[in-house]
Amino acid sequence: MIGREKSIEIVKKVLSMSGADQTEALLMGGESYLTGFANNYIHRNVGEKNYTLSVRVVMGKRIGSSSVDDFSDEAIKKVIQDAMLIAENQQENPDFVSLAKPEKAEDKEFFIKDTAECSPDFRAEYVNKILKATKAKGLTGSGKFETNAMEIAIANSLGVERYTKLTTSTLKSVVLSDTSSGYSMSSSIDVNKIPVDDILKESIEIAEMGKNPTSIEPGKYEVILTPYALAELISHLNYLALNARAMKEGTSFLIGQIGKKVVGENVTMYDDGLSSETIPLPFDFEGVSKRKVVFFEKGIAKNVVYDTLTAYKEGKESTGHSLPQPNPYSPYPMNVIMEGGKSSKEEMISNVKRGLYVQRFWYTNPMDPRRAIITGMTRDGLFLIENGKITRPVKNMRFTESVINVLNNIIELSKDKKIVYDMSSITVPYARIKEFTFTSKTEF
C-alpha cells in the first residue's frame, strides 16, 4: 500500500503543476488477490498491484481528463498536458459550474488488516473445504475467493483533500451436477466473517435439489426471490431511475412522482455508504462525503442521488454519489439497502399455495427504461412450490417484468438480509412477490 502521506503528496503535486482554471486529481488502486477453482480443483492463484492517477482539468466550461499509472514528475506533467489538450478541443459544457468544494469532514477507513494480508493458504483452506464437500457428493465445484485492499486519495484546486483505505473479500461457489447447478456467495470487509460453511451448504443443497428438472408452462406465478435475484433486479434501478441524471434524461419512472406513493408500503429503500449493512465507502470520487439518501419510505418516493454536476444544475448539494469522471453513469448509488420484514424464508415458502422459488437471475437487460421493464433468465436453481413446500426442480425460464411491479407486489419480506456485492453493494432480504411474469421456457 502507498499510504496516506505518499498518496496525498502525489495528488497535491498534480495541483501544483497544473495551469488550468480548476484541477482535480484522483489516485486509486491497491492490491487484489484471487484463488479460482473449477472442476473440483484450484486452477489459479493470482495477484495484482495496480494504481491509476486520473486528472481532470477545467478551462472555462471545457473539461478534459486523462490518466496514467506512472507517478514521476515527467509522467504527471504529460498527463496534465494531455488533459488540457483534450479540454481545449472539447465543446463547452453549459451545465458545468465548478468542481466539488471542500467541506468539514473526518476521513474514515474501513480497513481490516487480516483481509489485506490474507494469504493464499487461507483462501485455499476455504476453497478446499468447498471442494471436499462437492467431491463427497459427486458434484463439481467452481468459483472464486477474492480479497482486495484499496486506497483512494483525491484533491482539487478548490481545497478538497480526502483519503481512505478499505478492504473487501468475496467468496462465490457454483456447484454443478449433470443436470443442475447451485449458487451461493458472501462479501465482507473482514475476511474472517466469510461464512464458508453456509456458502458450501447453500450451493450444494440447491444443486442437489435441482437435479433432473422438468418443464412447466410460462405465465404469471407467485415467486420467492432470494437476495441474489432481488438484488439483480434492483441493480437496474440504480442507473435507470434512482439518480438525478436519469431524471434529467427522462429514463426514470420517478419523474413527477417525488412525494407520491409509487411502490408497496412495505418497501423502504435507501443508499447509505457508511452503514455496517453494506460494503462501505466514506466519500465519492469527487471527494464529497456520502450522504444517506432515502429512495422510498413506506412506498413513497423521496429522493435520488446527485453528483456535483447534477446538483449545481438543480441548485442542490451533491449527495456524494459521483463515479470517477468522466462517466456516463454518474451519479450512481453504490450502497443500496432495503429494509427487511418479519418473516423467515421457511415461513414465506409455507405461505405459497403454488409458485416458484428463484435462486438467481442472469443475462438481465432493460427493455423499457421508463417503466423499468427488465428481461432475463433464471439460473442456478428454480423450484416449484406447492401447498407450502418445494416439490420439484423446474427448467430455467425467461422472464419479462417491471421492477416497479415487483416492488408493488411484495407480500412478505424476510428478517434476514444479505450483501450482494459486485463493485457496488446491494443489501436486500428474501421477497415473496404476488405475481411475476415468465414469458418462455428453455430446454435446460
Quote the strand ranges of 105-228, DSSP E: 140-156, 161-176, 181-188, 219-225
The closest alpha carbon to 222, from 437, 49, 421, belongs to 437
Give the tens place of pLDDT for each residue, 112-156: 999 999 999 999 999 999 999 999 999 999 999 999 999 999 999
- pLDDT value of residue 444: 77
Could you tell me the residue ranges of all domains in the chain?
A: 4-206, 213-441
Alpha-carbon distance 336 to 348, whole Å? 23
Contacts for 129 with CB less than 8 Å, ≥ 6 apart: 196, 197, 200
Each residue's pLDDT tens digit, 370-422: 999 999 999 999 999 999 999 999 999 999 999 999 999 999 999 999 999 99
Coil, helix or strand at residue 8: helix
- CA-to-CA distance for 407 and 298, rounded, in angstroms? 11
Tell me the β-bridge partners of 125. none
The residue behind cell 465548478 is 98
Local confidence band at 350 (pLDDT 50, 70, 90 cut-offs): very high
CATH architecture of the domain covering 4-206:
2-Layer Sandwich (3.30)
Between strands 424-441 and 335-338, the pairing is parallel
Cβ atoms of 399 and 419 closer than 8 Å: no
Q: Give residue-wise pLDDT tens across range 254-297.
A: 999 999 999 999 999 999 999 999 999 999 999 999 999 999 99
